[in-house]
Amino acid sequence: MKTIAILTSGGDAPGMNAVIRSVVRTAIYNDLKVLAIKEGYNGLIKGDIETMTLSSVADIIHRGGTILRTARSDEFMTEEGINQALEVIKKFKIDAIVVLGGDGTLRGARELARRGVKVIGVPCTIDNDLGYTDYTIGFLTAVETAVSAISKLRDTSESHGRAIVLQVMGRNCGDIALYSGIAGGAESIVIPEVELNTDAIIKKIKNGRKRGKKHHIIVAAEGALDAYELARIIEEKGAIETRVTVLGYVQRGGVPTVQDRILASDFGYEAVNLLLSGKSGLALGYRSGKIIEVDIDEALETKKAFDKDQLKMVDILSI
């Protein structure tokens, strides 16, 4: 193996740059040539590729976003797009590719692996929605961002005696809502994995009011509900003024946390070492305190486990 390439695809996640740095430096240390593919699979189709050096990745470990830029490529999901990408791989003499991203990115990697391309997937998405790994890069940073918002919202909620619905990201997976809600001491957490129970939320608000509680924070994942509709129902049935805050894209940016940087460094290092030892078609993950590697197929098929007990705990702790 002489040349490896790296790309970032899908939604950006804080810590992607730390993975890029780790892959590039480990590869150069092992006398490999490293190519950067720009804007995800789109760059692979177009041949938008440049050589990386040790200094191309200087001063990026602490930066959010991705220096390689990213995209969600519809074209790559067509036979024509993939064939074009295979031509580019041949033209640039790419022996293996490390791809960084979420489930869509891993699906792209699986297509490449099925066509004989050596590929390693690194889970990078703020959503933490990949079932085979306990954590994806960027998730804990996004949670920190949401927790910091909750603390600020609690101040104003308390001062005005209002309820606040904070909508965080997560279309199919409620992990950002769950983790930030627990860490931020939210009264209620609404996630797509569990059916919305507005009566329970309203009962909680009313009980809290009875014993003089002034603030009430509801953290809701975007995939679980229409936050404005929930606020309307609370006002209607609960007779408490309610405001909505949609946190949005601030969750995707920012300085990666220590955990994200360390895991990112481990993943990048491991990705190159796996390729050097002749392994490919794998996705890296972190389970029960250890770095793991699983077949990309298995990574995509593993259902995300959900612990209902955690919601019960939230209910008890925020009584």
**Hey, which residues are catalytic here?**
127
**Could you tell me the two tokens for 210?**
């009875």
User: Which residues face 166 on adjacent strands?
Assistant: 219, 245
At its nearest, how many Å lie between ligand F6P and the CB of residue 84?
23
Smallest gap from Cβ 13 to ligand F6P, in A, equals 7
DSSP notation for 4-50: EEEEE-SS--TTHHHHHHHHHHHHHHTT-EEEEETTTHHHHHHT-EE
Alpha-carbon span 269 to 92, nearest angstrom: 23
C-beta of residue 76 within 8 angstroms of C-beta of residue 117:
no
**Cα 48 to chain centroid, rounded:** 25
Count Cβ atoms within 10 A of the Cβ of residue 210 and give its class: 0-12 exposed, 13-18 middle, 19 or more buried.
exposed
> Residue 240 has which token pair?
């408490």
Shortest reach from residue 250's CB to ligand F6P, in Å: 11
Nearest residue by C-beta to ligand F6P? Answer: 11
* Smallest separation, CB 12 to ligand F6P (Å): 7
CB-count exposure of residue 142 (10 Å: 0-12, 13-18, 19+): buried
Q: Distance between CA atoms of 35 and 48, rounded to whole angstroms?
A: 10
In the three-class reduction of DSSP (H, G, I as helix; E, B as strand; rest coil), residue 238 is classed as: helix
List phi, psi (to 5°) of 229.
Answer: -65, -40
Min CB(176)–ligand F6P separation in Å: 8
Which residues here bind ligand F6P, judged by CB under 6 A? 11, 72, 125-127, 169-171, 222, 252
Shortest Å, Cβ 126 to ligand F6P: 5
Compute CA 215 distance to the chain's CA centroid, rounded to the nearest angstrom.
Answer: 30
